[in-house]
Amino acid sequence: MRVLGVDPGLTRCGVGVVEGVAGRPLTMRGVGVVRTPADAELGHRLVAIEQGIEQWLDEHRPEVVAVERVFSQHNVSTVMGTAQASAVAMLCASRRGIPVALHTPSEVKAAVTGSGRADKAQVGAMVTRLLRLAAPPKPADAADALALAICHIWRAPAQNRLQQAVQQQAALHASKGRTP
């Protein structure tokens, strides 16, 4: 499975591509950051993020795009920018028919470090180890994007089985004329 991880942000939108399957060594296919100037008009910044993500989609052809789920932050302007960048990433993938998966920051941290409260340095260190890199990707947004992709690869098999079980249960209830 090839996954494009996106750590959304208006100034720095981390992007990283990881390939592999759960239980096997993973391979980094690319990592970077789509940057926009803080003083640029919002619309221009969103277009720049779209163009950057489109380039990554063209170059790496991911099967899934994993995006960090926006969560409430104390700074409303920060969460708004994150949500806007997240929406651009989801739109780019959906326009191409690529499935989008959302993962919370604590899910990602727990998947790669074992703790949902890990700090950025711990996430970077584990991404470096898991992908057998010489050094942690910089800036942290790039490492976070790789962590999102890793999280999705590792969690997808269990999520797919759960979704299939729910669908089978719903079909069983429908065939008996009941609602679940």
Q: Helical H runs in 25-139?
A: 42-60, 76-95, 105-113, 120-130
Average pLDDT, the chain: 92
Q: Over the stretch 31-75, which tens digit does the pLDDT of each residue have?
A: 999 999 999 999 999 999 999 999 999 999 999 999 999 876 677
pLDDT computed for residue 63 by the predictor: 97
Residue (of 98, 99, 4, 14) closest to 49 by Cα position: 14
Domains of the chain: 2-175 (3.30.420.10)
Given the residues 39, 50, 63, 68, the one annotated as active site: 68
- Block residue for tokens 């499975």: 1
Residue with the larger pLDDT of the pair 95 and 166 = 95
143 phi and psi angles, rounded to 5 deg: -65, -40
Annotated binding-site residue numbers: 7, 68, 141
pLDDT at 180 over 90: no
Contact 79, 72 (CB under 8 A): yes
For 96, the token pair is 């191409």
CA distance linking residue 12 with residue 138, whole number of Å: 11
CA distance linking residue 37 with residue 48, whole number of Å: 10
Annotated catalytic, 68? yes
Q: Over the stretch 104-113, which tens digit does the pLDDT of each residue have?
A: 999 999 999 9
- Block residue for tokens 């739109």: 91
Annotated catalytic, 144? no
Measured CA to CA in angstroms, residue 78 lies from 45, 50, 155, 160 at distances of 14, 19, 28, 32
Annotated catalytic, 107? no
Annotated binding-site residue numbers for Mg(2+): 7, 68, 141
